[in-house]
Chains A and B, each alone.
Chain A
Amino acid sequence: MQVSMTVNGNTVSEDVEARTLLVHFIREQLLLTGTHVGCETSYCGACTVHVNGEAIKSCTMLAVQADGAEITTIEGLAEGDELHPVQEGFWERHGLQCGYCTPGMIMSGVALLADNPSPTEAEIRHGIEGNLCRCTGYHNIVRSIEYAAAKMRGETPPPAEWEEASA
């Protein structure tokens, strides 16, 4: 079947099988491999992308369902050389280790902050339940999203714990 969509601002048109999952379409046909696959039961969230501005799991959507949609993947998040504040937060606050869950986690973080610019820690944790990380214990992921939230509100992010420790 023929599908057309906008991916990271580019219009793409491809032939797919009906059963092709959106994540496989993005990875194998568009060669955007920043979106990852970590499970098959829609639990891990490594495949999270934005479809029409909303964070969704691209392993639980058929490519044909996304026909006509506007899609943003991790590769389309930064504006040129300028990182998105959530990307910056993950770098500044050590929000990643192996990096495999990171693209999905960042895409979820961006969507979360779009809905709620000032989330509490509990709201952040609830908001990223659909993204599993095995490395960080989430501690620094929460700090990363808090950093980005402050930045996006135009505030100075709270100091890093290691900065506090040395202060």
Chain B
Amino acid sequence: MSTTSVLGGVVKRREDPALIQGKGLYVDDVKLPGMLYAAFVRSPFAHARINSIDTAAALAMDGVRAVYTIDDVRHLGPLLAQLPVGKQRPLLADGMVNHAGEAVAMIVADSPYVAQDAVELVDVDYEPLAAIVDLKEAASDAALVHDDLESNTIIAWAGHEWWAGVIPGKDGSAEIEAAKQRDDVVIVSQEMVNQRLIPTAIEPRSVVADWNTGYDRITLYSSSQIIHAVAAAVAKTFGLPTNAVHGIAPEVGGGFGCKLNVYVDEILTCFASKDLDRPVKFTETRREAAVSTIQGRGWIGTATIVGTNDGEILGYEFDGIADMGAYSQNITIAIPLLGVYVAQGQYDIPLSFNIKGVHTHTMTTDAYRGAGRPEAAYYIERIVDIYARKIGMDPAEVRRKNYFKKEQFPATTAIGLTMDSGDYEKSLDAMLEGVGWSDLLAERDQAQAAGRHVGIGLSSYVEVCGFGPSILAEFGFSFDGYGAPSAFTGTGLVRVNTDGSATVIIGTGPSGQGHETAWAQIVADGLGIPMEHVTVLHGDTKESPFGVGTFGSRSIAVDGAAAYGATAEVRTKAAAIAAHLLEASADDIRFEDGSAHVAGSPDKAVSWADIAKAAHRPHMLPEGMAGGLEAVNYFDPPNATWPFGTHLAMVEVDPETGNFDILRYVTVDDCGNVVNPMIVDGQVHGGITQGVAQAVLEEAIYDQDGNLLTPSLMDYPIPTASDVPSFELHRTVTPTDVNPLGVKGIGEAGTIGSAQTIVNAVVDALAPLGVEHIEMPLRPRRVWQAIQDAKGA
């Protein structure tokens, strides 16, 4: 590291000047000559047979260029999915519709206004059929969502056998059953819903396709977290080589998983662009986003703990059903698996975890911030709280008693995975000391004695992210379903330009995470050059080697490590060049303040510009050294990373209305080393808020006919500034050894730790009234009802 290290320090974001001046380029800002606009005719029914589609009136309308139905695109096959298990989505409804909002026909017109007018002129004759929405009903197979499948259940994950036996997991069922038979144990069990959510990035998804039929090349702008995979999927669908599709994801206005997918509009705009020989844009409206962009969560399950009266957990079992929606898209079926990974939380306890995924007549589910891990954390942390209350023990001490201990790391989980590093007691202690735990409990007790309903909720969490190693690709951790058989390796290309500045090209797909700043810190630090001399490029398949994208809190731990590795390679070569120019030994070269000098002789120096010049004039290089000064690194992490932490909330409930206020929200997060604390804190703030939103506000509500009752921001209330407090953040640092930066990941941690923290706090506030559990979201009506039910019990 150079003496002027920018790694680990606060650096203002280089992304911001454009964004705060309205100069950021998002896909909907792209306007190409001759561009046409697409709109979709969508099904008003969740399940119906299509008897006919009459497009004549729409086609006859002024300004309408085309109306497409499945007959036009059936030959392209269904929408590709990475894990095409269960039913794949047709590009447009093929004889049946299976969820409300499913695309039935596509209009292409001169303006979005005209396109929307034409949508109303398409006459579809539907024959409505009964819809299956309820998860238990779906799991019963009493009726089938898709007649051509044998069962609605398309996947069943048993924790101990998740990886086809390659990693032998331990099935805790026998042990747990034995524990249940003991007469000195407490058994607590609770069925809980982890409700459906609509991800709701503020930027609706948008795509612009421009198929140049002369060159047979497609330029595709898409607001995607995985632009390389999208480009590959388009190429595969149309039988083109991958590099015939130039994918560009410019600024992406939030993703949270909903842009970690390939969508029919990305395929269909390309099709239309070729057919009409014009660029075609599609930007979803908010209501369309609600019914045609993936949703998240949607679990129901029963969590059970068997434990002793003094807080030793003898086993944890979970049996649940996860809603897959009507069709499998990218990694729909794998979301529950990500929950399996962290099912046991921070606790070294026997585990029996079973979950199955079922089709229903609703929109597809897939990765939404946390993806399986918030669900898993919710169940274990709720039931641990219920257990602690049952045995009358301090919830902090119950947790502490069952933690994996610091000396156990690297620790092996029940399902056979190895957790890289952890010190859970340190995190808990930082929280308890930070808030003054005993004083805080006394404050609560005093308030309760005074008739106020104040409660404190605590949650531990462990996350798994930055997935690797690459052997996982053989088990689905890849995009080969889209024709891109890369593992989830990191990509970093570092190039020193002829003037001594550096260009970094990365394979991530940021949507607000500050990658340009963080990567510039890594590379500037590694080369000893000013950050202003580093340019970071991303989101362009033409510039970058294959990039996996941004999801699963992987970017810094995997792609950041690749940039770090490439930087080290460049530095090694630069040292050799400098040594040659200075007639010194490469071992003695030190990089500092934009130049290289010989150790102990600061005057004997060459600038990066000198080194770059030599690198591009091979005759100036040492004998046999090739020209150029760049390196590309594909980082294959030996393991995933396992961040962890502790959350605490203090709430006050108005029992008369069920309304409550969050008085305090405190976190202690541990994501290993930190590249930029400011950015890490920002990720935590946003993560907490999305978890709090699940706990308090948000729910995708379907009626029994499969109509989504909450398609707009009016009915689906994402938090406003008045719905959350300022947060109190603390950090512990437990580095990982799975990457050279020692970093883990922080994008999802806030969300994984927070929903149950709020529920635990509200239940704590109402425990004196006899309330034991309340289903999320804790809307006032639910909280009030829980109080009435407890009174009546």
Question: Interface residues, chain A, CB within 8 Å of chain B?
Answer: 17, 19-20, 27-28, 31-41, 43-44, 46, 73-75, 77-78, 83, 87, 90-92, 94, 96-103, 106, 121, 124-126, 128-129, 131-142, 160-163, 165
Contact = CB atoms under 8 A, between A and B. Distances in A.
Contacts of A163: 10
A136 B23 CA distance: 20
Nearest to B17: A91
A97 B686 contact: yes
A33 B718 CA distance: 25
Nearest to B288: A40
B685 interface: yes
Contact of B22 (A34, A124, A137): A34
B726 A134 contact: no
A97 B514 contact: yes
Interface in B1-40: 10, 12-13, 15-26, 28-29, 31
B29 A87 contact: no
Interface stretch (B195-203, B554-562, B757-765): B195-203
B739 interface: no
13 contacts: A34-B23, A35-B22, A36-B203, A96-B16, A97-B514, A98-B252, A99-B24, A99-B253, A103-B20, A135-B512, A136-B685, A137-B688, A139-B727
A101 B200 CA distance: 12
Nearest to A104: B202
B449 interface: no
B721 A138 contact: yes
B688 A96 contact: no
Contacts of B513: 97
A133 B202 contact: yes
Nearest to B30: A33
A160 B12 CA distance: 12
A97 B200 CA distance: 15
Given A36-B202, A101-B202, A137-B724, 20 more contacts: A36-B253, A40-B712, A75-B22, A94-B679, A97-B682, A98-B254, A98-B255, A98-B512, A99-B15, A99-B19, A100-B203, A100-B251, A102-B19, A124-B721, A134-B686, A136-B686, A138-B685, A138-B719, A140-B681, A160-B678
Contacts of A125: 720-722
B52 interface: no
Given A83-B20, A98-B201, A101-B202, A36 B726 contact: no
B677 A162 contact: yes
Interface SS of chain A: loop
A9 B203 CA distance: 28
B256 interface: yes
B782 interface: no
Contacts of A136: 682, 685-686, 689
A117 B365 CA distance: 45
B86 interface: no
Contacts of A99: 15-16, 18-20, 24, 251, 253, 512
A134 B200 contact: yes
A97 B690 CA distance: 14
Contacts of B688: 137
Counting chain B CB atoms within 10 Å of each CB, the highest count among A39, A87, A97, A163 belongs to: A97
Contacts of B689: 136-138
A98 B12 contact: no
A35 B21 CA distance: 10
A141 B686 CA distance: 11
A131 B722 CA distance: 11
B731 to A, nearest CB: 9
A19 to B, nearest CB: 7
Contact of A161 (B23, B28, B681, B719): B681
B713 interface: yes
Given A137-B689, A140-B685, A98 B20 contact: no
Interface string B500-524: 0000000000011110000000000
Contacts of A133: 202, 721
B204 interface: yes
Contacts of A129: 720-722
A107 B588 CA distance: 54
Contact of A100 (B20, B254, B686): B254
Contacts of A137: 685-689, 719, 724, 727, 750
Contacts of A38: 202-204, 253, 286
Given A74-B22, A75-B21, A139-B727, A33 B29 contact: yes
A34 B21 contact: yes
B202 A98 contact: yes
Interface string B175-204: 000000000000000000000000011111
A134 B718 contact: yes
